[in-house]
Structure 1
Amino acid sequence: MSSSNERRIRKIALEEHFTTPGFQSYSKSFTQHIPPQVLQDPAARLTDFDGQRIEEMDKAGIDYTILSQTGPSVQGEADPQRAIARAQESNDFLAQQIARHPTRFGGFATLPMHTAQAASRELTRAVKELGFKGALVNGHTLGTYYDDRAYDPFWATMQELDVPLYLHPVDAFVSPRVLDGHPELTGATWGWGVETGSHALRLLFGGVFDRFPRLKVILGHMGEGLPYLRWRFDSRFAVYPHGVTLQKAPSAYIGTNIVITTSGVCSAPALMGAIGEMGPQAVMFSVDYPYESTAIAADFIEAAPLDDTVRHLVCHGNAERLFRL
């Protein structure tokens, strides 16, 4: 590694993307709003495993990165059987890249979430045969959300394998009317966070964590805003339960079953608020490569007003514990 890494705090990053050859067509819904001249750089970085990616990791002190197929991946595939085949293809491709850099890269599985059974089979294969660290799923699959009881066998598999699911943003299946005429709000700026935070709340209020209490779901982008509303979730759910019962207060699941990364939010006040709400063991460093700057993310976490113990937990300790690294 470069000498600059010796002066850096050790880091592990979890929301770091690549693309499988032939998967670019799935990403058109994500990339169509990005000007071609802007898209050219991240598109090149998504296919790189040996050059700029590792160079930036070295400069930032990122020893280890868990890679994931950029979205929406096979969540955008209409044919369930083709989704199974393409998920296997993507996971096999990623395993080949990890094998060339086993001390630097780990993998999140791409999963065909069209059925719980197919997703469970591929997750099991990816973890047991390929050595992957969990899965990253790009939100709903064709409008289906995973609080549906039909997905309980999948959650049971995740709990049995003791690996987390990273719930990554995706476009809403039907764009909310309030966003009509404002395409600047529909994606990463606002709409993705609303979509993904809402999906996570469906899991919570749908009782998924009561049925599978050891399950871990990771949210990026400082938790898609959920940490800052824990008090309100408790307050309003107590008044408007609508027949829903939970074993614990809603806030109790956010910081235990739901943990977060800093990906794409390089704000010290936001970081301090998330730690204050959830505790230092529920927050992990990430970049959101190649869509965000590795250097900015590394500088941010090193300059944030944290004591050494908390900084090391956020930078690498929590990820080491969660992924048994």
Structure 2
Amino acid sequence: MKKITLEEHFISPEYAQHVRDLQSKGAGPGLPAEFEELLADPVMRKGIEAVEARLIDVGEGRLAAMDACGIDVQVLSLSALTFPAIQGENDAQQAVDMARQANDYLAEQIHRHPDRFAGFAALPLQAPVAAVEELERAVTQLGFVGALINGHTNGAYLDERKYWGIWERAEQLGVPIYLHPADSPGDQMKIYQGYPGLRSATWNWTVETATHALRIICSGIFDAFPRVIMLLGHMGEALPYVLKRIDDGWGGTPQSKQLQHLPSYYIKNNVMITTSANCSPEALSCALLAVGADHLLFSTDYPYASMERTTRFVETAPISEMDREKIFHVNAERLLKLP
């Protein structure tokens, strides 16, 4: 069975060095003190270095791993976990330059293996007009199939009016926007003090990304641009489980009159969900019941999650073969217009 996977990360050697240079000068985004202590552990450091090596490998090693799992195509996107990626830049022009460089680098890798790789663009959100221009360039000139955005940009969220041009252009181009997790900004992280294990993928990213998605939904963006699609990973960032509760709460507020529909309508019509790194049968069942098999797509979250485990999970899930085909490749081919 053909397999296309959508949340797969890379980083260029040039950008990795750029981030190291910034951090060595104390100019780049740093890690919380709790994480600095964890990374001082030799075992943790070795694991991080192994992930970095897999991020940089957009060649034979990655292809061999894909072949071992029967994965035909990876849709690649610039990583923001080990490194802060474009949205970690403080200087807007630097962000514009680095986004262009990263996208050009990815286009070169796709050109080497056009039957195995596709691309989501990195966008310089610090400069909204330039971000729209880069999205158009990436799709129309580089052949990319959408964009992946790593949460907020210095506290600015994608529902803000300055970013509506990105959604409008994505709709015009017929490509999705993948909303990828990031840490909450500033003081909002205080709730995790003393509990570093609750940060990142354990809990913070889910809460932060689900809230960001709801801001986008409740802003009216999907009323203004009804054909645009937002992708959410990790089986929908817990939103499928609470659709009715969200509708009940939102429906009783004055703000609800600003939208044409309840939030669940947009989640079922303007959002598509990937399976990235969430190997839970219960979560899969919930997502299928909430949004249907036509809105689920396969992802492994490589190299942060096991490609073998995430692939095997969908291969053996107790679902119909028709639904399995949709998740593994049919929906991706339709959404991304892949052969």
- 1:77 alignment partner, one of 89, 93, 103: 89
Query: Residues 64 and 106 of structure 1 are in contact (CA less than 8 Å); yes or no, is this contact kept in structure 2?
Result: yes
Q: For residue 109 of structure 1, give the secondary structure of its aligned residue in structure 2.
A: coil
Q: Please give the alpha-carbon distance, in whole angstroms, between the structure 2 residues aligned to 1:244 and 1:186.
A: 35
**Residue 16 of structure 1: aligned partner:** 8
Task: Please say if 1:285 is aligned against 2:285.
Answer: no
Task: Please say if 1:66 is aligned against 2:58.
Answer: no
Number of matched residues? 317
Aligned positions of 1:57-206 closer than 5 A: 57-71=66-80, 72-174=84-186, 175-206=188-219
Query: Residues 19 and 69 of structure 1 are in contact (CA less than 8 Å); yes or no, is this contact kept in structure 2?
Result: yes
Q: For residue 236 of structure 2, give the secondary structure of its aligned residue in structure 1.
A: helix
Amino acid in structure 2 at the alignment position of 1:235: D
Q: Please give the alpha-carbon distance, in whole angstroms, between the structure 1 residues aligned to 2:334 and 2:256.
A: 37
Query: Residues 221 and 263 of structure 1 are in contact (CA less than 8 Å); yes or no, is this contact kept in structure 2?
Result: yes
Task: Please say if 1:251 is aligned against 2:264.
Answer: yes
**Residue 234 of structure 1: aligned partner:** 247
- Decide whether aligned partners of structure 1 residues 36 and 27 sit closer, same or farther in structure 2, where only a CA change above 3 A counts: farther
**Residue 313 of structure 2: aligned partner:** 300
**Residue 5 of structure 1: aligned partner:** none
Query: Residues 68 and 109 of structure 1 are in contact (CA less than 8 Å); yes or no, is this contact kept in structure 2?
Result: yes
Cα deviation 1:261-280 (Å, max 9, x = unaligned): 00010111211110110011
Cα deviation 1:192-223 (Å, max 9, x = unaligned): 11111111100001111111111111011111
Structure 1 runs not aligned, ≥5 long: 1-8
Query: Residues 27 and 73 of structure 1 are in contact (CA less than 8 Å); yes or no, is this contact kept in structure 2?
Result: no
TM-score, structure 2 normalization: 0.90
The offset of 1:38, in angstroms, is: 1.4
Q: Please give the alpha-carbon distance, in whole angstroms, between the structure 1 residues aligned to 2:294 and 2:314.
A: 15
Cα deviation 1:279-318 (Å, max 9, x = unaligned): 1111111000000001101110010011111000011111
Query: Residues 250 and 256 of structure 2 are in contact (CA less than 8 Å); yes or no, is this contact kept in structure 1?
Result: no
The offset of 1:255, in angstroms, is: 2.5
- 2:326 alignment partner, one of 306, 313, 323: 313
Query: Residues 169 and 196 of structure 1 are in contact (CA less than 8 Å); yes or no, is this contact kept in structure 2?
Result: yes
Amino acid in structure 1 at the alignment position of 2:71: I
Task: Kindly report the root-mean-square deviation, in angstroms, between the aligned alpha carbons of the 2 structures.
Answer: 1.6
Q: What percent of counterpart residues are identical?
A: 45
**Residue 37 of structure 1: aligned partner:** 46
Q: Please give the alpha-carbon distance, in whole angstroms, between the structure 1 residues aligned to 2:218 and 2:306.
A: 35
Aligned positions of 1:201-216 closer than 5 A: 201-216=214-229
Amino acid in structure 2 at the alignment position of 1:95: A
Structure 2 runs not aligned, ≥5 long: 20-27
Task: Please say if 1:51 is aligned against 2:60.
Answer: yes
- Decide whether aligned partners of structure 1 residues 16 and 243 sit closer, same or farther in structure 2, where only a CA change above 3 A counts: closer
The offset of 1:27, in angstroms, is: 8.1
TM-score, structure 1 normalization: 0.94
The offset of 1:161, in angstroms, is: 0.6
Query: Residues 8 and 302 of structure 2 are in contact (CA less than 8 Å); yes or no, is this contact kept in structure 1?
Result: yes
Amino acid in structure 2 at the alignment position of 1:275: L
The offset of 1:28, in angstroms, is: 5.7
Amino acid in structure 2 at the alignment position of 1:217: M
Query: Residues 205 and 244 of structure 1 are in contact (CA less than 8 Å); yes or no, is this contact kept in structure 2?
Result: no
- 2:232 alignment partner, one of 198, 216, 219: 219
Query: Residues 279 and 313 of structure 2 are in contact (CA less than 8 Å); yes or no, is this contact kept in structure 1?
Result: yes
Query: Residues 73 and 115 of structure 2 are in contact (CA less than 8 Å); yes or no, is this contact kept in structure 1?
Result: yes
Q: Please give the alpha-carbon distance, in whole angstroms, between the structure 1 residues aligned to 2:309 and 2:163.
A: 38
Query: Residues 27 and 70 of structure 1 are in contact (CA less than 8 Å); yes or no, is this contact kept in structure 2?
Result: no
Query: Residues 116 and 152 of structure 1 are in contact (CA less than 8 Å); yes or no, is this contact kept in structure 2?
Result: no
Q: Please give the alpha-carbon distance, in whole angstroms, between the structure 2 residues aligned to 1:59 and 1:241.
A: 53
